[in-house]
Structure 1
Amino acid sequence: MNFLPTRGSALLAIALTAVVIAGCGPSQKAASVPPSATGQAKSNAAVAIARGKIEVEGGLLDISPETGGVVGQLLIKEGQTVEKGQVLLRLKDDAARADLAVAESEWQLAQTRQKSRAARLPSLKQALNRWQAAAKQGAADLQSVDEAARTLQEAQAELDIATAEVAVSQRKVEQLRALQKRHELRTPEAATVVRVTTHVGSTLQPGVSVMNLLPNRPFIVRAEVNESFVSAIKEGMHASVVADGDGSNLQFPKATVQRISPIYGAARLQDDTQKGPVRIIECVLVFDQPPANAKVGQNVRVSFHE
């Protein structure tokens, strides 16, 4: 016998079907998302973005001679690595070398004269002692004793003069050696030669830069933070750094805010110069790891994170 469904049983079936569908709906998916995901996304969000430039700590080294002259030797080339104290170039110093050679000869002569004067003293002292002993025994007169004493005093005076001449000659040699060193241009620290603007035979002026060196120091980022976001930037804050303007989106190691300038300044890296001056605060960041693919002067974008 076939039974037809009643109206009540049909309504009950519809209600049960609705409950099953609701259990598989969006509310179940939302419950499966970890509660920390929202907080993590918030913490990774950038609180400010700024333009910056990669620099070397302390800047490039501008090398200039202490004295003017003609370049006699150029001992380095662009791209070469140099160590602290290494000679970069030498100026022609023929006259200074000649003066130094003469001074060194005079110093040696003064030392020889001093040794000769000093060698006489022991025998003269012995002679005076003998005359004094003989005079006590009545075998010599006082005049001979006085002559021996006078001879010893004169020899001592000559030795004192010779000693002073040695000191003067030594100071002269040291002075000329220091002057000769001024004809040599040395690197103050380990670095890489970036640019050389002179050549053998060219005349240099004192204090005028003739080459630029990239010192072996850590790289930093000097970022310009718009005044609207200054309050969001703190020392110790982490940041991500990406190349700007070359289309490569090159990623650099993470960086940390080291210091924030206490004064406002004008932006130098703004996109549109037609907008007029933009006030910024300069922020210096240090890389957490050395950026092997970074170049000094490279423009970057800095995203600051809480």
Structure 2
Amino acid sequence: MRLVVVFAALVAATVYVPAQQPSVSFSADITPQIRSDRQDDTRFRLYDDQGQLSRVRMNLLFDNGYQIRYFQKLSRIDNDPDDSGTEAFYLEDPGRWSLGKQYATFGTGRILREPVIGGTLRLFLPFGDIPLEVSVFDNGGRLQKGVSGRLGDNPGLSFFFGEHFGIAGTSLTQVRYPEQTPGWGHGYRTVLGADYSLASGGWSAVIELIVLRQPNVPADGQHDIGNLLLTYQFPYGPLVSGELTITGDDPKQSLRFSAEIPVDKNLFVVPSLRLRGAEGWRPAFGLRLRL
């Protein structure tokens, strides 16, 4: 029902766009993966262990710069509270605002990626020319609702205040698998974060810290998460990465190593190896096809 409302809002918004024939383009990201969750459980999925979905995209670009963007999932994440086949559907004035179903603003978007229905505003503070991006949203029921944002460019400071943040299958995949989301009614009322990135030559590093407070279900507990991602792009070769995630109040740590090996211009082989606490090493083999 809410997506119907979003669609109606987008159609209404286009009334204010001068009559014109938009430029239409299509593309796709296909990310199948075979993953070993347990020694006796090896499965094929159309999404990877980081919650990257296989999807088809449509983009409508108007002469005045407005865009309507639509992302269709090719597969849903098991147990994901977002059971819609639509990943995103929104109208935007790029760099200024967007309205519809989209990912809430928070941090780098790698650790917390919450699909929400609402609006996002991008502006600069009058002092210091500091960028600020704010999302306001309400998914209804026992789902995500509230306000989130990110202040600054690099470094950046992020915040969320509301209900049920962090329940999406695309979120917190550094400390759980996508299908291990706690589900409806869970999540957090207050989330704070900081991130910083740097690059030199083929190397890049991203550090992100997240504080999860005021859980909607007390048994979920409060958590502090630290994440370090290192990547190296070989000239005309693979992109390799190593990622370390530490949960402050839990002795469990997560290590993940992966490579993105080009086979063709738009096709990559993606092997990975992951260690989570006492679960041992879990291998995975995936593909990434960009059309």
Same fold (TM over 0.5): no
The two structures have a TM-score, normalised by structure 1, of 0.19
Highest relative contact order (Cα 8 Å, sep 6+), 1 or 2?
1
Q: Give the structure with higher Rg (CA).
A: 1
Greater share of residues in helix:
1
Give the TM-score of the pair, scaled to structure 2. Answer: 0.20
